[in-house]
Structure 1
Amino acid sequence: MTAHERYERLARQVQADARVPALSVAIHRADRPLWTFTVGTDVDERSQLRIGSVTKTFTAVLVMQCRDDGLLELDDPISRHLPVKAHGDLTVGRMLSHLSGLQREPFGDVWDTMQAPDVDTLLDQLDRAERVLPPGQRFHYSNLAIALLGHLAGGLRGGTWEEVLRERILDPLGLDDTVVTPSRPVVGYQVDAWSDYAHPEPPDDFGAVGPAAQLWSTAADLAKWAAFLADPKAVDPAETVLAAATVEEMRAPRAVTEDVLWARGLGLGLILQPQQGAERIVHVGHDGAMPGFLAGAYGRVGGAGTPGAFGAAALGSSGTAGEVIDLAHQLLAAAVEADPADITPWVPAPPPPQRYRSVLGRWWGEGFEYVFSWHNGTLQARAADQPANRPPAVFAPVDGQPDVFRTVSGRETGELLRLTRDADGTVERLHWATYRFTRGQETFDRYRF
């Protein structure tokens, strides 16, 4: 069975077992052509399905663009940027990570009436929405919070959320089939639990809550978007949409979704789903649900065999087939197993700078041994017994201070590394995050073994 046949079989199995009227899937990776597949009725690769809360990832990127451009800070209260009658002290960062404590939906029974408010009504009724938890206490999912952030981002750019989304994300990345109003929509269904009847769900517009769940898309567009969230530099080399470092910041966990089972986390608007096993792998993206539709779009970060710009998406026209969401994760795993990335040959590199050669080798700190090395043009460090699949600490020189480095990733990120030299210029000791490192094992009172 070829890799593509394996992916197709996975999709066909989900469509048949979960009874999905229309299913569209795609795998995006830098080293292979885009793979797409559809199965079911009235669907092809250009058909648009609702993606529900995957929309939140786009809104999150708009907010982070504003932050990077100096228009806001994550610790800013929303009242600084959006005229609100209540909850103005909630911060942008907490709202983005579902830590605001704000109730899930706008005021009113929107899922009964299927009438979403417009922007003016959303803001006018905000004083009738509750804080169901104290801010920062724990994860509580809120469409209302993300909707407010979408309108905040639009206002800071002088447009609507939809206008800014098209201008600043969709057009630059060529996501032409990702839209607020579809031109080639698939019908969504509720499939009867006790028969094979599929009842079409009425089309609806999420109005002012659009930044949380309004978008329609194709599997191809969403797989590319998921790849961007996992490997932005490969998808957007010029960093036109967002700096790669900012996307990495968005992937840093800020909350867990359950108090006891820490199997899923939230970054800045992104779901983080670690994969079980010995390797350090996380899938980053989002699930989505709207009446008649379910979707999942995730990119894969880490792990042997993972190619660059690697993302998968699964979109289904059933509101009850949770297997559609899991299919995105299955496709990522199957692609690495059946068709792993090619192994890049090792090639010799130029020697490390003369100034830092005496740093390299084994050092002891806090009673433990570490290895400092030079790879990919950077100084790195790892514990001597650290598993190979755990990333090292990476250092960058501080401008104007040739013997001072900043830890830019890995252990002690943000902390300084200082080099101390003896009379002949050889580095004789280090201070990393203020802890003393020496060539031999020492106690804190400097007793040498």
Structure 2
Amino acid sequence: MNALDRLVRETQAQARIPALAAAVHRADRPLWTLSVGAEPEAAFRIGSVTKTFTAVLVMQARDEGLLDLDDPIGRHLEVPALGDLTIRRLLSHTSGIQREPYGDVWDTLVAPDAATLVADLERAERVLPPARRFHYSNLGVALLGLTVARMRGGTWAEVLADRVLGPLGLAGTSAVRPASATTGYLVDAYSDAAFPEPPLDFGAVGPAAQLWSTAADMAKWAAFLADPATVDPSGAVLAEATLDEMRWPLTTTDQGIWAAGFGLGLILVPRGDRVVHVGHDGAMPGFLAGVYGRPRALTGAPGPAGFGAAVLGASGTALETVDLPHKLLTAAIEADPAEIVPWTPGEPVPDRYRSVIGRWWSEGFEQVFGWYGGALRARGAADPAGKPPAIFRPSADNPDILRTVSGREVGELLRLTRDGEGRVVRMHWATYRLTRDQQTFEGRSFSA
């Protein structure tokens, strides 16, 4: 029994989960899957993992110029109240809107239709001021799904199938309960009895939690969220830069312990040593799910491309289900590391930037500039090994003015100053002076 098998079987037995399915997707290995108590192709409810799909639909609309993230929702959806809440705030759960639609959905198990959901906004509360703090809201994501559906001229489920599920080949994912659906259970806390839960249809709140899927599909989706350039190289679903934007933390989910953050529709879970997992957890009556990928771009260290894991469980109370994908990602890379790519010589430093290469000083700290991968890069001399460098691209009209395109001071300019012989003798980065020796802010040198 390998390490991944053992983790899944131990979790299923110890957490008393009637059915459990897990998968690990990585571009350099065959798909790994294991099901205990269910058929390999069984479908489970994935609950709020659905929100990541709705977030991608919103970002597609943004990229196509149909909306701006700072638009109020009322600009795109006719609502009787709360129309000033912005799309960005709704995506990041910082709008302050109440968690659920008006009424007692989880008591009656009757979800509103679109007309009712919108009409009842007049009775929905702003439980917090916008931008005050993280406050999870199914209602907010439901409004985003309804907005995108109306923009595209179809239902949310139709738009999702056409623009995401089809292009990525996620044939096992659906908004309707498939024939291969697993039953979800409540497992008695004081016996081994398991009681089936009803398969709730979430109606107009579907964009927040409606989907059914398989572990294999969700592992691929997790890999897409972490590394879209590998899973979707043509960018048919979403540009790599847009996923990177979604992964930037906009808030923490807890003030006291920064155990998780939230970006644009994505949960960000730090795992130590510059490792971050991105994805989402999900819960519906009788089901829990955890779907996470590990982006190489966030670690600053080599790792598998297209790396994601999913765990779907048919128990509504076994929280071990949502922790298991993180353990699987760690175990997969420890037990079977990615291949080591051999180093090969690259192009020489262009003459224009040869005098930039080497050590510089700024604000009393040493910076090291080099030329790698066809670009000028900079690192702090004391930076830890895993910290990504700053990368620069020359301006089109002046190669001595470069833009920082990633890393420290991203977006800022690096300006080169040359002497009469054309050598770079001084630089300014985000207006801070860089010199070849350590100097005070007044320009006093200690090397003489």
Same fold (TM over 0.5): yes
- Tell me the alpha carbon deviations over residues 10-45 of structure 1, each in whole angstroms, 9 at most, x when there is no partner: 1001111111111000000010000111001xx222
- What secondary structure sits across from 1:428 in the alignment? strand
- Tell me the alpha carbon deviations over residues 195-218 of structure 1, each in whole angstroms, 9 at most, x when there is no partner: 111000011100000000000000
- Tell me the alpha carbon deviations over residues 78-103 of structure 1, each in whole angstroms, 9 at most, x when there is no partner: 01111111111111001100000000
Give the structure 1 partner of residue 229 of structure 2.
233
The more displaced of 23-32 and 302-311 is 302-311
1:161 Cα offset (Å): 1.0
- Tell me the alpha carbon deviations over residues 143-163 of structure 1, each in whole angstroms, 9 at most, x when there is no partner: 000110011111122222111
State the distance in 2 between where 1:103 and 1:53 align: 16
State the distance in 2 between where 1:217 and 1:13 align: 23
Give the structure 2 partner of residue 282 of structure 1.
276
RMSD: 0.9
Contact 1:305 1:342 in 2 (8 A): no
List aligned pairs for 1:6-405, cutoff 5 A: 6-40=3-37, 43-183=38-178, 184-276=180-272, 279-302=273-296, 303=299, 304=301, 306-405=303-402
- What secondary structure sits across from 1:274 in the alignment? strand
State the distance in 1 between where 2:19 and 2:294 align: 25
State the distance in 2 between where 1:94 and 1:233 align: 27
Of residues 428, 436, 439, the one that matches 1:439 is 436
Contact 1:99 1:135 in 2 (8 A): yes
1:305 Cα offset (Å): 5.7
- Tell me the alpha carbon deviations over residues 41-97 of structure 1, each in whole angstroms, 9 at most, x when there is no partner: xx2221110000000000001111111111111111001111111111111001100
State the distance in 1 between where 2:40 and 2:225 align: 22
What TM-score, normalized to structure 2?
0.97
1:424 Cα offset (Å): 1.3
**Residue type matched to 1:297 in 2?**
V
Gaps of 5+ in 2: none
Contact 1:226 1:310 in 2 (8 A): yes
State the distance in 2 between where 1:371 and 1:44 align: 55
State the distance in 1 between where 2:423 and 2:387 align: 30
Divergent runs of 4+, >6 A:
none
- What secondary structure sits across from 1:402 in the alignment? coil
How many residues in Structure 1 have an aligned counterpart in Structure 2?
Answer: 442
Contact 1:305 1:336 in 2 (8 A): no
- What secondary structure sits across from 1:363 in the alignment? strand
Contact 1:254 1:267 in 2 (8 A): yes
Gaps of 5+ in 1: none
- Tell me the alpha carbon deviations over residues 103-158 of structure 1, each in whole angstroms, 9 at most, x when there is no partner: 00000000010000001110011111001000000000000001100111111222
**Residue type matched to 1:253 in 2?**
P
What TM-score, normalized to structure 1?
0.97
- What secondary structure sits across from 1:226 in the alignment? helix
Alignment partner of 1:408 is 2:401:
no
State the distance in 2 between where 1:401 and 1:242 align: 32
Percent identical residues: 65
Give the structure 1 partner of residue 417 of structure 2.
420
Contact 1:305 1:340 in 2 (8 A): no
**Residue type matched to 1:11 in 2?**
V
- What secondary structure sits across from 1:211 in the alignment? helix
State the distance in 1 between where 2:395 and 2:67 align: 27
